[in-house]
Chain A
Amino acid sequence: MQVRINGKPQEVREGLSIAALLQELGVETRYAAVALNGEVVRRAEHPAVIVKEGDRIEIVHAVTGGA
């Protein structure tokens, strides 16, 4: 099935949790956060939330910046 991850379309397996997706993508999760269809997903819920067809997933972290 297809989802959008950080603005780009991507094929993923069905039944994948957010936690599993992050692992497959190789994301260093320690200082990262996820929004699913515009809503922040709490870290504790990553293993329980299952990605669905057409979901928009944003994975963010800290980068350099001032203002």
Chain B
Amino acid sequence: MEGYKDLLTLGKKQFHSRLIVGTGKYPTFEVMREAIERSGAEIVTVAVRRVDLGARGKGSLLDYIDPGRYTLLPNTAGCYTAEEAVTTALLAREAGLSDFVKLEVIGDPRTLFPDVVGLIEATVRLVKEGFTVLPYTNDDPITAKKLEDAGATCVMPLAAPIGSGLGIRNPYNIRIILEQARVPVIVDAGVGTASDAAIAMELGCDGVLMNTAIAGAKDPIAMAEAMKLAVRAGRLAFQAGRISKKLYAAASSPAEGKIDIE
């Protein structure tokens, strides 16, 4: 595999790593920085919020995540309308973070499932504004298709609700999305542990995006490395092509040439 390049292309950029990580929920900035380093991720999601005007001089996120080294992926988390999401993305770009956007238009605070109508509308508007749009969506093949048609750079179906750690609840829908997509498919949200990430990649997904599974682990730095290896292992297994499943055994040692002790 030496010299072999298996790059993920998103917008005008190419990436070696297929793991995208968030920056939320870490116990400290130092643990976050170390975990992200260990994950091998090249794309890092951030949120966009009001500056705390009473907290001058406190450390800020970008003291720990070098925007020159990582591709920042600002999200529109917490936005419940296309309007809010579009304005948030415009602010993120104006702040000099990125013209990439992890587009979220949330439909309900309890499930954090996307409002797909608002999501498609916001995608259309942000594509027109020149953004590289990475939309967080349902595991719904029809919506995935519509997002692609609207100009989304990739589609990011959830595996399970954000932060739930339930793993891939509907691998069959993910497979249908993969079959029809002409853009990269990145599983976003719901991964709980390394095997979940590996399964997503074995299905043929182009990448996995996660935050809580790493940040919420007892040892986030070790889990970051586990996720890096799982994504890599899953990708290799997908490319290698798994064997088909059989109900009965199929010996892998020859039936001939056995000793006779009768």
Contact = CB atoms under 8 A, between A and B. Distances in A.
Interface of A: 5-7, 25-28, 30-35, 38, 40-43, 58-67
B24 interface: yes
B100 to A, nearest CB: 13
A41 B211 CA distance: 31
A65 B45 contact: yes
Nearest to A10: B53
A5 B211 CA distance: 31
A32 B95 CA distance: 5
Greatest chain B CB density within 10 A among A32, A42, A63 is at A63
Contacts of B75: 65-67
Interface in B188-227: 188-189, 209-212, 215
B188 A64 contact: no
Contacts, number: 117
A8 B216 CA distance: 33
B24 A66 contact: yes
A61 to B, nearest CB: 5
Interface of B: 21-26, 32, 45-51, 53, 56, 60-62, 67, 72, 74-75, 77, 87, 90-92, 94-97, 102, 104, 112, 136, 162-163, 188-189, 209-212, 215
A38 B32 CA distance: 32
A61 B60 contact: yes
Contacts of A42: 94
A62 B24 contact: no
27 contacts: A5-B53, A6-B50, A6-B51, A28-B60, A32-B51, A41-B94, A58-B50, A60-B49, A62-B48, A62-B97, A63-B47, A63-B49, A64-B47, A65-B22, A65-B23, A65-B45, A65-B46, A65-B77, A66-B21, A66-B22, A66-B77, A66-B162, A66-B209, A67-B136, A67-B163, A67-B188, A67-B211
Nearest to A61: B51
A40 B189 CA distance: 29
